[in-house]
Amino acid sequence: MLISFSISNFMSIGSKQTLSMIPSLPTSPKKHMLRVDERELLKHAVIFGANSSGKSNFLRAMAFGKQIVLAGLSPKFKFAYSKLGDDSQPRITTWEYTFFINHHFFSYGFSVNFNTLEIVEEWLLEIDPQTDHSHLLFERHVAEQSFYSPINNYHLAGSDVKAKMLLVSDYHRHSQISVLATVYQWFAKHLVVVMEGQALKRWGRVDEDYQNTFLKLIADFDTGIEAIALETMALDDFQALIAPHSLSSLALDSLQEPYYAVLINNQLYRLRFVQEELVEVSLVFFKHRNSPFLFSFGEESDGTKRIIELTDFLINACADTSYVWDELDRSIHPLLLEKFLEKYWEISLPNQLIFSTHETHLLARNLWRRDEIWFMEKALDQSSKLYSLDIFKERLSKQLATSYLEGHYGGIPNLNLKDEQ
């Protein structure tokens, strides 16, 4: 589970900005809290802010950091540094994730120089939850070709420390530090970031039980969908469709179910596997009330597409996983978003939901604790600043949305900027 995330010098983010899932208020109903090894964490974080305030950039930083851990540095990251301030300064961007996995609390971080597209430093700490003290598991400084770890007196020669790859990414070559594989698995399996515009997306199992559950759930969202229909597609045609991608691009490398659905180029496909071999591909269609026609995913409205995605999430969400959604409310009515949250709370899995939104309706409904509400604001120097509602130390009330829109908490568009200049 995510405990905190920090990022500096990334796109609109200049100085270090931190999101914390550590509660700062007394305990509250179960739907708001998680207990991990006798410690409590928040289940939710909701980030409000104006357009271009940096909400998406903050969540995108989470996704970029995950991708660097799993796949290494890529030239596409070269211009992800913050373009605010003095251009002569080194473009060093720093990520730090604090998280819980396998009964251990870790803090893992790394820095990247975007001028050279190289790792600058990397470190891993384990935190004692009783004392909050941390002890070093390893630290690495690439320029000095230095590496230190007290684990098994393990040492690396400078030539073994690749400048463009994190040690955690290369964990299989350093089995003496077994904790590296644990950290890698947290990023691979327990952190899911859903950003707008993803070209390829894997869904979970889509078998007969799934279809029945899906139709029962989506009936509560007033989409008109009443049935799912499948149309078989030739395997060669599907292979040509995903080229130059491959099945590995669809995150299907560790199959546990015979059926999966993937979203490719705005169309939904169901894949069937036998002993990890793809044997059948079907296009997924939806049947609506009072219509003899079938609708592909691409033909549905943006709002219905979002509801379909959220319904799939309700069915396939996993325990012990932190889910991060950019603009969860995109294209759907406020009441439907609230209905989704109600369904999510009914599932009551031990996981986390972190999302950005413009929907002030959520502030007016007393759905959140004060320390679950965050604001992103663009400062005068155009940098993005993240802060919690809890700093204002006010009681939640139905006037919270009004107070927010009146500017009492920041995080809204500055419509008087021209007058101030």
Amino acid at 411: G
| pLDDT band, residue 253 (cuts 50/70/90) | very low
Q: Are residues 313 and 328 in the same domain?
A: no
Last residue of a domain, one of 288, 318, 348: 318
Q: Are residues 209 and 273 in the same domain?
A: yes
Q: Is 172 exposed, middle or buried (0-12, 13-18, 19+ CB in 10 A)?
A: exposed
- Average pLDDT value for the chain: 84
Q: Are residues 330 and 402 in the same domain?
A: yes
Predicted confidence at residue 370, as pLDDT, reads 87
Question: Can you give the length of the chain in residues?
Answer: 421
Residues 6+ apart with CB under 8 A from 285: 228, 229, 230, 231, 294, 295, 296
Q: Are residues 275 and 236 in the same domain?
A: yes
179-185: Cβ within 8 A, 24+ apart: 179/104, 179/106, 179/124, 179/126, 179/137, 179/151, 180/124, 182/101, 182/102, 182/104, 182/106, 183/101, 183/106, 183/108, 183/124, 184/69, 184/70, 185/101
Which of the two residues, 120 and 86, has the higher pLDDT score? 120
Give one word for 7, left, alpha or beta, with left for phi > 0 and alpha for psi -120 to 50.
beta
Tell whether the model's pLDDT for residue 238 goes beyond 70.
yes
| pLDDT band, residue 8 (cuts 50/70/90) | very high
What's the domain count of the chain? 2
Last residue of a domain, one of 318, 351, 382: 318
Domain span at 77: 1-190+320-421
Which pLDDT tens digit goes with each residue over 127-177?
Answer: 998 888 999 998 988 887 777 777 766 666 555 567 788 999 988 777 777
Q: Are residues 355 and 267 in the same domain?
A: no
Q: Are residues 23 and 124 in the same domain?
A: yes
Predicted confidence at residue 71, as pLDDT, reads 87
Q: Are residues 206 and 269 in the same domain?
A: yes
Predicted confidence at residue 2, as pLDDT, reads 97
Q: Are residues 151 and 22 in the same domain?
A: yes
Which pLDDT tens digit goes with each residue over 339-375?
Answer: 999 999 998 889 999 999 988 888 877 788 889 999 9
Predicted confidence at residue 413, as pLDDT, reads 66
**Number of CB atoms found within 10 A of residue 69's CB:** 22
Nearest to 44 by CA among 393, 281, 370, 317: 370
Amino acid at 282: S
Which of the two residues, 200 and 165, has the higher pLDDT score? 165
Nearest to 62 by CA among 145, 144, 6: 6
28-31: Cβ within 8 A, 24+ apart: 28/369, 30/348, 31/345, 31/348
323 bridge partner residues: 192, 353
Predicted confidence at residue 149, as pLDDT, reads 76
Q: Are residues 61 and 39 in the same domain?
A: yes
Predicted confidence at residue 352, as pLDDT, reads 96
| pLDDT band, residue 63 (cuts 50/70/90) | very high
Could you tell me the two tokens for 31?
Answer: 């739907």
Tell whether the model's pLDDT for residue 223 goes beyond 90.
yes
Q: Is 110 exposed, middle or buried (0-12, 13-18, 19+ CB in 10 A)?
A: buried
Tell whether the model's pLDDT for residue 45 goes beyond 90.
yes
Looking at residue 57, which CATH number applies to its domain? 3.40.50
| pLDDT band, residue 200 (cuts 50/70/90) | very low
Q: Are residues 66 and 111 in the same domain?
A: yes
